[in-house]
Amino acid sequence: MKKAVFVYSPEQLGYKFSDTHPFNHKRLTLTMDLLKNIEALDDLDIVPARVATEEELLLAHDPKYIDIVKRAGHGELSEAQCESYGIGTEDTPIFENMHEASAQLVGGTLTAVDYVMEGKVEHALNLGGGLHHGFRGRASGFCIYNDSTVAIRYLQEKYNARVLYVDTDAHHGDGVQWSFYEDPDVCTLSIHETGRYLFPGTGNITERGNGQGYGTSFNFPIDAFTEDESFLEIYEKSMREVFEFFKPDVVLTQNGADAHYFDPLTHLYGTMNIYREIPKLAHKLAHEYCGGKWIAVGGGGYDIWRVVPRAWSMLWLEMTDQQLPTGPLPQAWLDRWQPEAPVPFIPTWEDPNPLYEPIPRKAEIEEKNTQMLAKALHIIRNEKRA
Amino acid sequence: MIVEEIMNEEPYTLAPTNTVFEALKLMREKKVRHLPVIDEERHVLGVITERDIKEALPSSLRDEPNSPVFNAKVEEIMVKNPLVGHPLDFVEEVALTFYESKVGCLPIVSGGKLVGIVTTTDLLYTYIELTGATEPGSKIEIRVSDTPGILFEITKVFNKHHANVQSVLVYPDSENTQNKILSVRVKTLNPLAMIKDLRKEGFDVLWPNLPGVSLQ
């Protein structure tokens, strides 16, 4: 069986708010070009993203909302008319054909799902997806339709699957969490900067699900200024224990690349090291528990020059069992993009060491994160003991 | 905000002739720690708390499963003539009463009759809501001089960006009494443009403020 497919269509680049908006899918182009430069991505690996049908969007969204998105994108509605739907705001402005572009991102994730679930490949990647803040009837935080929510419902209906959703974006995966808050057959795991300071503000350890779904939402809010070691400790322990507890049929990972020190919107101090490790463990556990069934999507990532292309390349390389590269980036890639970039590139796969000044309260931050982990996992550790 | 908006309008209650055992059972079943004791006209006669019961009972370490205390009437151990509140009391007044009188609940009385109850837990949740933490938003903290009109200057910036402010908290600056700290929660994922403008207007933005990272 082929290892993996890379889902992409140029139409995915149509999801664009403006030239100055932080959410910029040019990062897809930059990532693909980097992978092609090191001959890690072949045209034969790429499959086009289909467009999600309206029926599929309805798995996660209100018909009224879909209608609003359509009409807004065709210039039929003013900002004021859309505002209560989270559209026309500074975060999620109206742009032309926004429904079509958003449906294309959702379709990409559905394409990835079908490839994996029909057994054509073990893993599939749709970097255009991962829009985890989208709600049933409202856009939020740059996200119009929530591709992961649609994909998980689709996995349930078409393939009767038990799904584990893992979200390592620096922002809490609120939209996906609330969609499955009462569903015992979907487990959500989100590691994010604490909502005390950062959007969306949710994702406390006490959000554990409700009713039948109680105990199938896991949140690991880490402190601002958390660095690699502590991030990875939380990630590795939470992943192992939640996989063991939930025993999913398939895993869907959201791979936001905004926990890096350079990211302008967050306050975590991750380096490229975490983006080497995150996919490794997801890959390993997908094979241990899900017969290899692993679907991965993109997500946040607002330093599109220095961080996202390197981070997302690691994801694809790991998925396809290619060795993770070290040393210099291809010169041709640097030469091609440096003139456009407003910041000087990091010319190697690794970040310079040290990347930043030492954090004064490192020990306390690590201690606090470890305590948080124990509290968040208490519910399953307790059950094990009983 | 007034008490009427946060009080529980259907509190569990007891009659003075109910037993301590019945009180304890009700508290455990309904997961409450305070019960008003009322007569048939809903006049408040007293309050009985979980702690009153615990103090009246023999130690759980002693083997006395059938202590006579269980069969005593609640009127024998309840707090008689407790402090009560009114539906039109301000929430912050009630908070102060809790803090100063060291009580955990206030029966709310109107027209001489019990109409609700407020506990410290209700107040705590109100506080959480006041911080705006239940809605998607980003937090910005600004140090400002303690002068009239400063909030207007700040909100002008949010207005310019069409940003929805979810909560504003003002608290004293521990370093300098001439200043105040404003903690604002704004409905946005990307506060960078607003922060840039706040700085341009000369405001001292404390959070987000990162060593080594320029916010451009």
Rg value, chain B, Cα = 24
Is the CB of A91 less than 8 angstroms away from the CB of B189? yes
Best of A199, A206, A260 to disrupt the B interface (most B CBs within 10 Å) is: A199
CA dihedral (A188, A68, A105, B186) positive or negative: negative
Best of B128, B138, B189 to disrupt the A interface (most A CBs within 10 Å) is: B189
Among the partner residues B185, B188, B212, nearest to A90 by beta-carbon distance? B188
Indicate whether A55 pLDDT > 70: yes
Please answer whether residues A131 and A108 qualify as being in contact, where contact means their C-beta atoms are separated by less than 8 angstroms.
Answer: no
Residue A352 makes CB contacts below 8 A (sequence gap 6+) with A346
ipTM: 0.78
Can you list the residues of chain B whose pLDDT is less than 50? 211-216
Which position among A25, A61, A123, A133 bears the catalytic label? A133
What's the mean pLDDT when you consider all of chain A?
A: 96
Is the CB of A198 less than 8 angstroms away from the CB of B133? no
Please compute the mean of the pLDDT values over residues A236-263 and round it to a whole number.
98
Single-letter residue type at A342? P
Prediction pTM value = 0.86
Residue A192 makes CB contacts below 8 A (sequence gap 6+) with A167, A169, A170, A171, A172, A173, A198, A203, A219, A220, A221, A222
Please answer whether residues B168 and B156 qualify as being in contact, where contact means their C-beta atoms are separated by less than 8 angstroms.
Answer: no
pLDDT digit string (tens) for A283-323? Answer: 999 999 999 999 999 999 999 999 999 999 999 999 999 99
Check residue B3 and give its pLDDT.
93
User: Which residue matches tokens 């405001």?
Assistant: B203
Is the CB of A356 less than 8 angstroms away from the CB of B162? no
Single-letter residue type at A130? G
Check residue B210 and give its pLDDT.
59
Check residue B216 and give its pLDDT.
40
pLDDT digit string (tens) for A89-131? Answer: 999 999 999 999 999 999 999 999 999 999 999 999 999 999 9
Check residue A233 and give its pLDDT.
98
Nearest to B152 by CA among B187, B111, B114, B182: B182
What is the DSSP-derived secondary structure letter of residue A359? P
> Rounded to a whole number, what is the distance in Å from the CA of A311 to chain B's nearest CA?
19
pLDDT digit string (tens) for B53-112? Answer: 888 888 777 666 677 888 899 999 999 999 999 999 989 889 999 999 999 999 999 999
* H helices present in A128-192, as ranges: 147-159, 174-179
Residue A168 CA to residue A180 CA, distance in Å, equals: 18
Among the partner residues B132, B193, B208, nearest to A267 by beta-carbon distance? B208
Is the CB of A356 less than 8 angstroms away from the CB of B212? yes
